[in-house]
Structure 1
Amino acid sequence: MNLTIDLKERDKELFVSISGEIDAYTAPQLKENLQPSAEKLNQVITVDLSGVSYMDSTGLGVFVGLFKTIKKNNGQLILSGLSERLRRLFDITGLGDIMNIKSEVEGGVE
């Protein structure tokens, strides 16, 4: 399955819409697209995951890495649009307690 990543920057915030599957094959593409923004100071990245049908531990690892990089640079990572399955994945691993996860899709990604 392919992964589609749509990036839209507005002011100092990056809105990301992802659709497809995030797994060992597509996770490097996701990291490559988001890492440069994560390294900017005070960057806010809002990621809409409503189009993601599947994510494995490799995908979780990408988000953990992004979260650490963004936090180190005084930024913020916001995840939204998680399906029940994805939400459970973040909660089971404890990431739901430390990451900013919104129940509704926000921002400028349509």
Structure 2
Amino acid sequence: MNLDIYLEKDQDTVLLNVEGEIDAYTAQELREKLLPLTEIKGRQVVVHLADVHYIDSTGLGIFIGALKSAHQHGSFLKLTGITPRVRRLFDITGLDEVIEIDDHEREEAR
């Protein structure tokens, strides 16, 4: 199970492109990259998930932790490019009501 994470910065916005599966084996890597990005006041963190086709409960927990961190530090978290299968997980768990999800592609998310 592989996870690739690419980071792009543009002033106060950080775009995190995530590819692969987010599960118990790869979630720690995502946590280590994502959480520090949410700890800067005023920063917008956009996580692009178009190339993620599987997320388990551990992965969902990473996004909950990132959202809490963003609220605590005055930053902003948004998810983009979510596939229908992954989007369904956010809908079923109700996370779509607390985390901003933009279903548009990467360029439109900026």
- Over residues 27-83 of structure 1, what are the superposed CA-to-partner deviations in whole Å (9 max), with x where a residue is unaligned? 000000111111111111001100001110000000000001011112111101111
What 5-or-longer segments of structure 2 have no aligned partner?
none
Which ranges of structure 1 fall in alignment gaps of 5 or more residues? none
Alignment size in residue pairs: 109
- CA distance 1:108–1:97, change in 2 (3 Å): closer
Cα deviation for residue 105 of structure 1 reads 2.0
Q: Output the amino acid matched with 1:52.
A: V
Question: Closer, same or farther in 2 for the Cα pair 1:101/1:36, shift >3 Å?
Answer: same
Percent identical among aligned pairs is 41
User: When the two structures are superposed, what TM-score results if normalisation uses the length of structure 2?
Assistant: 0.93
**Take 2:69 and 2:14, find their aligned partners in 1: how far apart are those partners?**
15
User: In the alignment, is residue 65 of structure 1 matched against residue 58 of structure 2?
Assistant: no
TM-score relative to the length of structure 1: 0.93
Question: 4+ residue runs of structure 1 moved beyond 3 angstroms?
Answer: 106-109
Amino acid at match of 1:13: T
Counterpart for residue 33 of structure 2: 33
